Chains A and B, each alone.
Chain A
Amino acid sequence: MNPWPFVVAAYAVAILLTAALLLWSFASMRRAEAAADAITRK
């Protein structure tokens, strides 16, 4: 059994899920902080 497809699949899952977590956290932080800044300036 060729092991490389399993290795590539495992790394792809780890990278995609970590990237999704970081992007979601970053986007929600930017959106919330922009809303807080906007309401403070009012």
Chain B
Amino acid sequence: MHALANPARFLRIARPATSWLLLVGLALAIGGMVAGLTLTPPDYLQGETVRILYIHVPSAWLGMAGWAGIAAASVSQLVWRHPLAAVAGRAAAPAGATFAAICLVTGSIWGRPTWGTWWEWDGRLTSMLVLFFLYLGYIALGSAERERGGEGRIAAIYGLVGAINLPIIHYSVLWWRTLHQGQSIGLSGSSIDNSILWPLPLTMVGFTCLFGAAVLMRMRAELAETKVEARMRRMGTA
């Protein structure tokens, strides 16, 4: 990771990676969604609404993975003072917030025909909503620190403290058995039939690539803005 500490070296890798992630992400996400809508059978209990799974699960994964990335960037910034860590954290936050929002909205839409309610203050739903608000706080804190020329240490500490919410989200379905169903897909296998499950890896990988592309684009934007600001300062003092 320290090999990428040089912004010029990082940009040499990030420029082609952005295009590839966009292309592969769009192909897999569109392919997976089309397959999920047209090629899989309805579930025997949930019927057609099971198709929301193909967008809800990737968005839940990316909402949580985004904050895990922020926490990793925070450690990298606070411990090793990696020069790109704060940039990476700030770049990951809007993408993570977007996917956390998609997870909440699609879950709510799925809940209405399945549970008979748009919202319930259930452990999983509430902890995911807390994650979305944590993202908003991180975005506000990160931009405020950047505007006043800070190193982003307060945002990094906030990013680490906020990571406490990740195990709460993960274990919420075991700790508080209310409305949200337990884990259907784990490392040891899945309780979902393969005839329904197979498009899910396509959308998982596809949306993850799009997430990566959005983060790289935001990082490139911030590095270019920093370059312009530094040049303007030098011109102002000359």
Are A21 and B221 touching (Cβ within 8 A)? no
Are A6 and B49 touching (Cβ within 8 A)? yes
Are B214 and A22 touching (Cβ within 8 A)? yes
Q: Given that A14-B55, A21-B95 are known contacts, is A3 also in contact with B214, CB under 8 Å in the complex?
A: no
What are the residues of chain B within 8 A of A28 when measuring CB–CB?
217-218, 221
Instruction: Report the separation of the CA atoms of residues A18 and B207 in the bound assembly, to the nearest whole angstrom.
Output: 9
Residue of A3, A14, A20 touching B59 (CB-CB under 8 A) = A14
Residue of B33, B109, B214, B221 touching A6 (CB-CB under 8 A) = B109
Q: Given that A18-B98, A35-B228 are known contacts, is A13 also in contact with B220, CB under 8 Å in the complex?
A: no
What are the residues of chain B within 8 A of A36 when measuring CB–CB?
224-225, 227-228
State which size class the interface on B falls in: 35 or more
What are the residues of chain A within 8 A of B217 when measuring CB–CB?
22, 25-26, 28-29
Any A CB within 8 A of the CB of B210: yes
Are B224 and A18 touching (Cβ within 8 A)? no
Any A CB within 8 A of the CB of B123: no
Any A CB within 8 A of the CB of B136: no
- Give the residue name and chain of the B residue nearest to A37 (CB): B224
Interface secondary structure of A, over-half rule: helix
Are A25 and B52 touching (Cβ within 8 A)? no
Are A22 and B221 touching (Cβ within 8 A)? no
Are B218 and A39 touching (Cβ within 8 A)? no
Listed stretches B77-85, B100-108, B155-163; interface member: B100-108
What are the residues of chain A within 8 A of B222 when measuring CB–CB?
32
- Give the residue name and chain of the A residue nearest to B52 (CB): A10
What are the residues of chain A within 8 A of B228 when measuring CB–CB?
32, 35-36, 39
What are the residues of chain B within 8 A of A40 when measuring CB–CB?
227, 231
Residue of B37, B210, B218 touching A7 (CB-CB under 8 A) = B37
Are A22 and B22 touching (Cβ within 8 A)? yes
What are the residues of chain A within 8 A of B37 when measuring CB–CB?
7, 11
Q: Which 9 A-B pairs have the closest CB atoms?
A: A32-B224, A25-B217, A36-B224, A14-B55, A3-B48, A29-B221, A32-B221, A29-B217, A10-B106
